[in-house]
């Protein structure tokens, strides 16, 4: 899935988890709302990431967005094209009562995304959905 990095509201950065807001080149490829472990390719480098697709219900927004937190990454990449490969579905979209609860969940999501997994779409992963 190819996506261009665009400007966002920088909410992830304020939480300590900077994200690249994404505009999918083929919107039909946008997965269902949820959180996914992904491989992120930028040029010829591959990084692990956590992809969030949804409406950010904790912040009261209704606009569907896609954003990726790239693990161990600290570069400005606005305007770059990323290639995203889903490795694993982590969880469905949730609403959190506090930003602290959201931050705790994002830490768990990040830890889960860092674990090696079976490629998304395999029989094991499909059974988990």
Are the C-beta atoms of 3 and 66 separated by less than 8 Å?
yes
In a domain? residue 93? yes
Find the farthest-apart pair of alpha carbons in the chain and give their distance in angstroms, rounded.
Answer: 40
The domain that contains 74 carries what CATH number? 2.40.30.30
In a domain? residue 105? yes
Q: How many domains does the chain have?
A: 1
* Average pLDDT estimate for 93-116: 89
Structural domain boundaries enclosing 111:
2-121
Prediction pTM value: 0.83
Structure confidence at residue 127 (pLDDT): 44
In the predicted structure, residue 129 carries a pLDDT above the cut 60: no
In a domain? residue 85? yes
Structure confidence at residue 68 (pLDDT): 96
Determine the Cα–Cα distance for residues 84 and 39; give it in Å rounded to an integer. 6
Are the C-beta atoms of 53 and 33 separated by less than 8 Å?
yes
In a domain? residue 129? no
Residue whose tokens read 């591959």: 46
Closest CA to 121 of 55, 31, 41: 31
Model pLDDT for residues 77-103, shown as the tens digit of each residue: 999 999 999 999 999 998 888 889 988
The SS3 call for residue 77 is coil
């Amino acid at each position: 899935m190819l996506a261009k990095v665009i400007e966002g509201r920088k909410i992830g950065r304020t939480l300590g988890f900077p994200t690249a807001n994404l505009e999918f080149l083929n919107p039909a490829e946008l997965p269902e709302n949820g959180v996914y472990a992904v491989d992120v390719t930028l040029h010829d480098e591959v990084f692990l990431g956590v992809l969030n697709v949804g409406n950010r219900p904790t912040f009261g927004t209704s606009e569907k967005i896609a954003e990726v937190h790239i693990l161990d990454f600290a570069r400005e990449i606005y305007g770059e094209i990323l290639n995203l490969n889903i490795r694993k579905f982590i969880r469905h979209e949730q609403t959190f009562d506090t930003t602290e609860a959201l931050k705790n969940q994002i830490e768990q999501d990040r830890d889960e995304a860092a674990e090696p997994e079976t490629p998304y779409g395999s029989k094991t992963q499909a059974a988990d959905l």
